[in-house]
Amino acid sequence: MILVTGANGYVGAHLVARLREEGAAVRALVRRGCSGAEAECLRKTGAELVEADLEEAGPLAAALDRAETVVHLLGSIERPRRGGYRGMHTAKTALLARAFRAEVDARRRRGGSGRGRVVYLSALGASPNAANLYARTKGEAEEELRRSGLDWVSVRSSLIFGRETGRRDSKIVRKLARLAASGRAVPLVGGGRNRIQPIYIADLVFCLRAAILADGPLREIWEAGGPAQLMLRDVALTLMRLFGNPNRIAAVPFPVAYLLALCARAVRAEKTLNLEQVRMSRRDAVCAANRAPAACGGRLVSFEEGMARTISRFGREALLGGEGR
Protein backbone atom coordinates (compact mmCIF):
# COMPACT_ATOMS: atom_id res chain seq x y z
CA MET A 1 0.00 0.00 0.00
CA ILE A 2 1.26 3.47 -0.95
CA LEU A 3 -0.04 6.42 1.08
CA VAL A 4 0.13 9.79 -0.69
CA THR A 5 -0.23 12.94 1.45
CA GLY A 6 -1.41 16.10 -0.27
CA ALA A 7 -3.01 13.83 -2.87
CA ASN A 8 -5.52 16.50 -3.90
CA GLY A 9 -2.74 18.90 -4.86
CA TYR A 10 -1.09 19.51 -8.21
CA VAL A 11 1.65 16.87 -7.98
CA GLY A 12 -0.52 14.51 -5.94
CA ALA A 13 -3.24 14.25 -8.58
CA HIS A 14 -0.69 13.36 -11.26
CA LEU A 15 1.18 10.85 -9.10
CA VAL A 16 -1.98 9.06 -7.90
CA ALA A 17 -3.24 8.78 -11.49
CA ARG A 18 0.08 7.31 -12.66
CA LEU A 19 0.35 4.80 -9.81
CA ARG A 20 -3.23 3.63 -10.29
CA GLU A 21 -2.67 3.20 -14.04
CA GLU A 22 0.10 0.77 -13.09
CA GLY A 23 -2.20 -1.12 -10.72
CA ALA A 24 -0.65 0.02 -7.43
CA ALA A 25 -2.77 0.08 -4.27
CA VAL A 26 -2.97 3.77 -3.36
CA ARG A 27 -4.49 5.51 -0.36
CA ALA A 28 -4.96 9.24 -1.02
CA LEU A 29 -4.78 11.41 2.09
CA VAL A 30 -6.63 14.69 1.54
CA ARG A 31 -7.59 17.62 3.73
CA ARG A 32 -10.93 17.55 5.50
CA GLY A 33 -13.69 19.03 3.40
CA CYS A 34 -12.01 18.11 0.11
CA SER A 35 -14.90 17.65 -2.28
CA GLY A 36 -16.11 18.44 -5.76
CA ALA A 37 -13.85 18.11 -8.78
CA GLU A 38 -10.67 17.40 -6.79
CA ALA A 39 -12.13 14.46 -4.90
CA GLU A 40 -13.96 13.18 -7.98
CA CYS A 41 -10.72 13.07 -10.01
CA LEU A 42 -9.07 10.97 -7.30
CA ARG A 43 -12.06 8.64 -6.92
CA LYS A 44 -12.12 7.99 -10.66
CA THR A 45 -8.61 6.56 -10.42
CA GLY A 46 -9.82 3.92 -7.95
CA ALA A 47 -7.63 5.24 -5.12
CA GLU A 48 -8.89 4.90 -1.55
CA LEU A 49 -9.74 8.39 -0.30
CA VAL A 50 -9.06 9.31 3.35
CA GLU A 51 -9.87 12.73 4.84
CA ALA A 52 -7.57 13.57 7.75
CA ASP A 53 -5.04 16.04 9.07
CA LEU A 54 -1.54 14.97 10.03
CA GLU A 55 -2.15 16.52 13.45
CA GLU A 56 -4.95 14.01 14.16
CA ALA A 57 -3.23 10.98 15.71
CA GLY A 58 -6.08 8.48 15.34
CA PRO A 59 -7.03 9.18 11.72
CA LEU A 60 -3.33 9.39 10.77
CA ALA A 61 -2.61 5.97 12.31
CA ALA A 62 -5.58 4.54 10.40
CA ALA A 63 -4.32 6.07 7.15
CA LEU A 64 -0.88 4.51 7.72
CA ASP A 65 -2.29 1.02 8.35
CA ARG A 66 -0.53 -1.50 6.03
CA ALA A 67 1.32 1.31 4.21
CA GLU A 68 4.84 0.32 3.14
CA THR A 69 5.62 3.60 1.38
CA VAL A 70 4.51 7.15 2.16
CA VAL A 71 4.90 9.79 -0.53
CA HIS A 72 4.83 13.05 1.40
CA LEU A 73 3.78 15.87 -0.94
CA LEU A 74 2.16 18.21 1.56
CA GLY A 75 3.71 21.66 1.25
CA SER A 76 3.24 25.19 -0.01
CA ILE A 77 5.47 27.80 -1.61
CA GLU A 78 3.04 30.45 -0.34
CA ARG A 79 3.29 31.10 3.39
CA PRO A 80 0.53 29.02 5.05
CA ARG A 81 -1.70 31.12 7.28
CA ARG A 82 -1.92 28.41 9.92
CA GLY A 83 1.46 27.61 11.43
CA GLY A 84 3.49 29.22 8.66
CA TYR A 85 6.18 27.33 6.75
CA ARG A 86 7.52 25.63 9.90
CA GLY A 87 4.10 24.31 10.85
CA MET A 88 3.44 23.05 7.33
CA HIS A 89 6.83 21.54 6.51
CA THR A 90 8.82 20.82 9.68
CA ALA A 91 6.14 20.02 12.25
CA LYS A 92 3.86 17.96 10.01
CA THR A 93 6.78 15.95 8.62
CA ALA A 94 7.89 15.20 12.19
CA LEU A 95 4.39 14.01 13.11
CA LEU A 96 4.17 11.84 10.01
CA ALA A 97 7.63 10.31 10.52
CA ARG A 98 6.92 9.41 14.16
CA ALA A 99 3.53 7.90 13.35
CA PHE A 100 4.91 5.91 10.39
CA ARG A 101 7.84 4.62 12.44
CA ALA A 102 5.38 3.44 15.11
CA GLU A 103 3.30 1.65 12.44
CA VAL A 104 6.35 -0.06 10.91
CA ASP A 105 7.67 -1.15 14.33
CA ALA A 106 4.26 -2.55 15.32
CA ARG A 107 4.05 -4.45 12.03
CA ARG A 108 7.50 -5.95 12.58
CA ARG A 109 6.52 -7.14 16.06
CA ARG A 110 3.53 -8.92 14.52
CA GLY A 111 5.86 -10.65 12.06
CA GLY A 112 4.75 -8.56 9.11
CA SER A 113 6.65 -6.48 6.54
CA GLY A 114 9.32 -4.22 7.98
CA ARG A 115 9.44 -1.98 4.91
CA GLY A 116 8.84 1.66 5.66
CA ARG A 117 9.99 4.26 3.15
CA VAL A 118 9.16 7.95 2.95
CA VAL A 119 9.53 9.68 -0.41
CA TYR A 120 9.54 13.40 0.32
CA LEU A 121 9.03 16.17 -2.22
CA SER A 122 11.54 18.81 -1.18
CA ALA A 123 13.08 21.76 -3.01
CA LEU A 124 16.44 22.56 -4.55
CA GLY A 125 18.45 24.55 -2.05
CA ALA A 126 16.74 22.93 0.95
CA SER A 127 18.89 23.27 4.06
CA PRO A 128 18.32 24.03 7.76
CA ASN A 129 20.66 26.98 7.17
CA ALA A 130 18.97 28.37 4.04
CA ALA A 131 18.41 32.12 3.84
CA ASN A 132 14.67 31.84 3.15
CA LEU A 133 12.14 30.08 5.35
CA TYR A 134 10.68 27.96 2.57
CA ALA A 135 13.99 26.23 1.79
CA ARG A 136 15.00 26.26 5.47
CA THR A 137 11.88 24.42 6.62
CA LYS A 138 12.16 21.95 3.74
CA GLY A 139 15.69 21.26 5.03
CA GLU A 140 14.37 20.88 8.58
CA ALA A 141 11.80 18.38 7.31
CA GLU A 142 14.63 16.36 5.75
CA GLU A 143 16.37 16.37 9.14
CA GLU A 144 13.23 14.90 10.71
CA LEU A 145 13.39 12.06 8.20
CA ARG A 146 17.09 11.48 8.96
CA ARG A 147 16.29 11.14 12.66
CA SER A 148 13.29 8.86 12.10
CA GLY A 149 15.20 5.64 11.44
CA LEU A 150 13.01 5.05 8.39
CA ASP A 151 14.07 4.47 4.80
CA TRP A 152 13.77 7.78 2.94
CA VAL A 153 14.43 9.55 -0.33
CA SER A 154 14.12 13.32 -0.54
CA VAL A 155 13.44 14.47 -4.10
CA ARG A 156 14.57 18.10 -4.33
CA SER A 157 12.74 19.65 -7.24
CA SER A 158 13.06 22.87 -9.18
CA LEU A 159 9.99 24.67 -10.58
CA ILE A 160 7.38 22.11 -11.70
CA PHE A 161 5.23 22.89 -14.74
CA GLY A 162 2.69 21.46 -17.17
CA ARG A 163 -0.44 19.36 -16.85
CA GLU A 164 -1.44 15.89 -18.00
CA THR A 165 -4.47 15.22 -15.81
CA GLY A 166 -6.73 16.83 -13.21
CA ARG A 167 -7.63 20.48 -12.88
CA ARG A 168 -4.50 21.98 -11.36
CA ASP A 169 -1.31 23.59 -12.58
CA SER A 170 1.73 25.11 -10.93
CA LYS A 171 0.74 28.29 -9.08
CA ILE A 172 3.90 30.12 -10.12
CA VAL A 173 3.52 29.23 -13.79
CA ARG A 174 -0.17 30.11 -13.68
CA LYS A 175 0.61 33.57 -12.27
CA LEU A 176 3.25 34.17 -14.93
CA ALA A 177 0.88 32.90 -17.64
CA ARG A 178 -1.81 35.34 -16.56
CA LEU A 179 0.67 38.20 -16.73
CA ALA A 180 1.96 37.00 -20.12
CA ALA A 181 -1.58 36.82 -21.48
CA SER A 182 -2.55 40.23 -20.15
CA GLY A 183 -0.59 42.22 -22.71
CA ARG A 184 1.00 44.26 -19.91
CA ALA A 185 4.61 44.29 -18.77
CA VAL A 186 5.55 41.33 -16.56
CA PRO A 187 7.06 42.51 -13.24
CA LEU A 188 9.88 40.27 -11.99
CA VAL A 189 11.96 40.79 -8.85
CA GLY A 190 15.50 41.64 -9.87
CA GLY A 191 14.47 41.36 -13.50
CA GLY A 192 14.03 37.58 -13.12
CA ARG A 193 17.74 36.84 -13.50
CA ASN A 194 17.79 34.00 -10.96
CA ARG A 195 18.38 30.62 -12.61
CA ILE A 196 15.95 27.73 -12.31
CA GLN A 197 15.72 24.27 -13.91
CA PRO A 198 12.01 23.70 -14.65
CA ILE A 199 10.88 20.06 -14.67
CA TYR A 200 7.79 18.81 -16.51
CA ILE A 201 5.18 17.25 -14.24
CA ALA A 202 5.34 13.82 -15.93
CA ASP A 203 9.14 13.75 -15.56
CA LEU A 204 8.85 14.56 -11.85
CA VAL A 205 6.21 11.85 -11.39
CA PHE A 206 8.55 9.33 -13.02
CA CYS A 207 11.28 10.43 -10.61
CA LEU A 208 8.98 10.00 -7.58
CA ARG A 209 7.91 6.61 -8.90
CA ALA A 210 11.56 5.57 -9.24
CA ALA A 211 12.15 6.59 -5.61
CA ILE A 212 9.19 4.43 -4.55
CA LEU A 213 10.44 1.38 -6.46
CA ALA A 214 14.20 1.68 -5.91
CA ASP A 215 15.91 -1.17 -4.09
CA GLY A 216 16.75 -0.27 -0.52
CA PRO A 217 17.61 0.52 2.07
CA LEU A 218 17.95 4.13 0.98
CA ARG A 219 18.66 7.35 2.82
CA GLU A 220 19.35 9.67 -0.07
CA ILE A 221 18.76 13.08 -1.59
CA TRP A 222 17.92 13.18 -5.29
CA GLU A 223 17.93 16.41 -7.30
CA ALA A 224 15.27 16.68 -9.99
CA GLY A 225 15.39 19.30 -12.70
CA GLY A 226 14.57 19.62 -16.38
CA PRO A 227 16.95 19.50 -19.35
CA ALA A 228 17.97 23.18 -19.24
CA GLN A 229 18.88 25.87 -16.76
CA LEU A 230 16.88 29.02 -17.50
CA MET A 231 16.56 32.43 -15.95
CA LEU A 232 13.07 33.15 -14.65
CA ARG A 233 12.84 35.90 -17.28
CA ASP A 234 13.35 33.24 -19.99
CA VAL A 235 10.35 31.35 -18.59
CA ALA A 236 8.25 34.52 -18.75
CA LEU A 237 9.41 35.33 -22.29
CA THR A 238 8.55 31.78 -23.43
CA LEU A 239 5.03 32.18 -22.06
CA MET A 240 4.69 35.51 -23.85
CA ARG A 241 5.57 33.82 -27.15
CA LEU A 242 3.11 31.00 -26.52
CA PHE A 243 0.34 33.50 -25.80
CA GLY A 244 1.31 35.68 -28.76
CA ASN A 245 1.91 38.79 -26.67
CA PRO A 246 5.16 40.70 -27.26
CA ASN A 247 5.29 41.95 -23.65
CA ARG A 248 8.35 43.24 -21.90
CA ILE A 249 9.93 42.43 -18.54
CA ALA A 250 9.62 45.13 -15.87
CA ALA A 251 12.51 44.69 -13.44
CA VAL A 252 11.49 45.32 -9.82
CA PRO A 253 14.59 46.32 -7.77
CA PHE A 254 15.12 44.19 -4.66
CA PRO A 255 14.67 47.09 -2.18
CA VAL A 256 11.33 47.96 -3.83
CA ALA A 257 10.27 44.30 -3.79
CA TYR A 258 11.07 44.02 -0.07
CA LEU A 259 9.00 47.13 0.63
CA LEU A 260 6.07 45.81 -1.43
CA ALA A 261 6.25 42.47 0.40
CA LEU A 262 6.16 44.23 3.77
CA CYS A 263 3.11 46.21 2.63
CA ALA A 264 1.45 42.99 1.42
CA ARG A 265 2.03 41.43 4.85
CA ALA A 266 0.53 44.47 6.58
CA VAL A 267 -2.71 44.21 4.58
CA ARG A 268 -2.76 40.36 4.60
CA ALA A 269 -2.18 40.15 0.86
CA GLU A 270 0.87 37.87 0.97
CA LYS A 271 -0.48 35.65 -1.80
CA THR A 272 0.45 38.51 -4.12
CA LEU A 273 4.05 38.76 -2.87
CA ASN A 274 5.77 37.73 0.35
CA LEU A 275 9.22 38.23 1.82
CA GLU A 276 10.27 34.62 1.32
CA GLN A 277 9.48 34.81 -2.40
CA VAL A 278 11.66 37.93 -2.64
CA ARG A 279 14.47 36.14 -0.83
CA MET A 280 14.09 33.12 -3.14
CA SER A 281 14.51 35.46 -6.12
CA ARG A 282 18.05 36.19 -4.94
CA ARG A 283 19.26 32.60 -5.34
CA ASP A 284 19.45 30.04 -8.12
CA ALA A 285 17.53 26.75 -7.93
CA VAL A 286 19.45 24.39 -10.20
CA CYS A 287 20.76 20.84 -9.88
CA ALA A 288 24.29 20.05 -8.80
CA ALA A 289 23.89 16.35 -9.62
CA ASN A 290 20.65 15.52 -11.42
CA ARG A 291 19.31 11.99 -10.95
CA ALA A 292 16.08 12.74 -12.79
CA PRO A 293 17.21 11.71 -16.32
CA ALA A 294 18.11 8.19 -15.18
CA ALA A 295 14.97 7.95 -13.06
CA CYS A 296 12.77 9.09 -15.94
CA GLY A 297 14.34 6.59 -18.29
CA GLY A 298 14.31 8.90 -21.29
CA ARG A 299 14.48 12.40 -22.70
CA LEU A 300 13.33 15.17 -20.39
CA VAL A 301 10.70 17.61 -21.68
CA SER A 302 11.79 21.22 -22.13
CA PHE A 303 9.78 24.11 -20.69
CA GLU A 304 8.62 25.37 -24.08
CA GLU A 305 7.66 21.89 -25.30
CA GLY A 306 5.84 21.03 -22.08
CA MET A 307 3.86 24.26 -21.98
CA ALA A 308 2.95 23.96 -25.68
CA ARG A 309 1.77 20.41 -24.98
CA THR A 310 -0.32 21.59 -22.03
CA ILE A 311 -1.93 24.44 -24.00
CA SER A 312 -2.64 22.12 -26.93
CA ARG A 313 -4.34 19.58 -24.67
CA PHE A 314 -6.24 21.80 -22.23
CA GLY A 315 -6.41 25.19 -23.94
CA ARG A 316 -5.03 28.55 -22.89
CA GLU A 317 -8.08 29.35 -20.79
CA ALA A 318 -7.60 26.24 -18.64
CA LEU A 319 -4.02 27.27 -17.95
CA LEU A 320 -5.13 30.71 -16.79
CA GLY A 321 -7.87 29.41 -14.49
CA GLY A 322 -8.16 26.84 -11.71
CA GLU A 323 -5.84 26.26 -8.80
CA GLY A 324 -2.30 25.03 -8.40
CA ARG A 325 -0.20 23.41 -5.73
Residue-wise pLDDT tens digits, 199-228: 999 999 999 999 999 887 889 999 999 999
Q: Does the structure show a pLDDT above 80 at 291?
A: no
Flag whether pLDDT at 97 surpasses 90: yes
Work out the number of other CB atoms within 10 angstroms of the CB of residue 245.
15
pLDDT above 90 (res 18) = yes
d(CA 224, CA 291): 6
Looking at per-residue pLDDT, the higher value among 75 and 169 belongs to 75
Tens-digit pLDDT profile for residues 56-93: 888 889 899 989 999 999 888 777 777 888 888 999 99
pLDDT of residue 127: 92
* Average pLDDT of span 116-140: 93
- Three-state SS for 238? helix
Q: Where are the alpha helices (DSSP H) in the chain?
A: 10-21, 36-45, 57-64, 84-85, 92-109, 133-148, 171-182, 201-213, 232-243, 254-266, 275-280, 292-296, 303-314, 316-320
Phi, psi of 130 (to 5 degrees): -65, 155
The residue ranking higher by pLDDT, 54 or 305, is: 305
Domain locations in the chain as residue ranges: 2-168+198-226+285-298
Least confident of 31-45, 156-170, 201-215, 252-266: 31-45
CATH of domain 2-168+198-226+285-298: 3.40.50.720
**Binning pLDDT at 50, 70 and 90, where does residue 33 land?**
low
